[in-house]
Amino acid sequence: MAVLKVVKIGGNIIDNEIMLQNFLLEFSKIKGPRILIHGGGKLATQLANKMQVEVNMVDGRRVTDAITLDIATMVYAGKINKNIVAKLQANNCNAIGLSGADGNCVISKKRPVKTIDYGLVGDVVKVNIEILELLLHSNITPVFCAITHDKQGQLLNTNADTVASEIAIGLANVFETELYYCFGKNGVLEDVNNEDSVIETITTERYKGLKEKGIIANGMLPKLNNCFRAIQNNIKTVCIGKPEIVFNKTLKYTTIQK
């Protein structure tokens, strides 16, 4: 069974032109199937501020009204996605930029209102494995933004970490799948001010304790929730750390285990 690398990159890479260029060069050298998922960086927030649109975040997730969705779609599915695809093509990596609506790749449903109304935010219900297999077996690298759709004509803003884990889970029966969450830190830190305080292994039990102590909070919560969902659904390798961990396993990083 071929090894598939599913890699999610965040704003620290997207917002730094040199870091993005270097990462994509190394990513292009990966042998075998690979999928890249990206978030939105600061660009969506910067554009919203320019347009005097209020930015509202709850537990690391963006509350999305109609105009915020327009901004997210323009930035994520447009500027960022196509910029990444163009850079991969320059590195002779044949990539295709996708939203969840393209090829019916990722179907979501609007998140139900409980205590918070997140607006036009989607929770993933289905990944179209067949088309992804077709692309991967044709040596084409899918590059996903975090815009999905509900099959009723509505686009939905979806957490990029969730898109990454659900795509990885969907393909776990076809490939031996490795899932990497790349961001600006060496991994999950015991002390956010100490870059060397990497928690090298987090189990389900330890995760509960770290949440109770407030060591894991805010934007790290959805990331870790997606990691554990992946581990519980046949993804054997889930790693969190700097982008270099995709290519160099000698670095410090966090591994998620049952």
Burial-class residue 52 by CB neighbours within 10 Å (0-12, 13-18, 19+). Answer: exposed
For residue 218, what pLDDT is reported?
79
Count each helix (H run) and each strand (E run) in the chain, helices first.
9, 14
The pLDDT of residue 208: 92
Q: What pLDDT, on the 0 to 100 scale, is given for residue 1?
A: 78
Give the mean pLDDT per block of 10 residues along the chain (258 residues).
Answer: 94 93 97 95 87 82 90 96 98 98 98 92 97 97 98 96 97 96 93 92 94 86 92 95 92 94
What are phi and psi for residue 130, nearest 5 degrees?
A: -60, -45
The CATH superfamily assigned to 3-256 is: Acetylglutamate kinase-like (3.40.1160.10)
What local confidence, expressed as pLDDT, does residue 61 receive?
73
Q: What is residue 42's predicted lDDT score, i.e. its pLDDT?
A: 86
Q: Are strands 122-127 and 106-110 parallel, antiparallel or unpaired?
A: antiparallel
96: left (phi over 0), alpha (psi -120 to 50) or beta: beta
Q: What is the pTM of this model?
A: 0.95
Helix H, strand E, coil C: the string for 20-75 is HHHHHHHHHCCCCCEEEEECCCCHHHHHHHHCCCCCCEECCEECECHHHHHHHHHH
Give Cα separations from 26 to 10, 29, 93 (angstroms): 16, 5, 11
Please, where are the H alpha helices in 43-146?
Answer: 43-50, 66-72, 81-90, 129-137
- Dihedral pair phi/psi, residue 17, rounded to 5°: -60, -45
The residue count of the chain comes to 258
Q: What is the amino acid identity at position 202?
A: I
Quote the pLDDT of residue 79: 96
User: Which pLDDT value is given to residue 14?
Assistant: 94
Q: What pLDDT, on a 0 to 100 scale, did the predictor assign at position 60?
A: 65
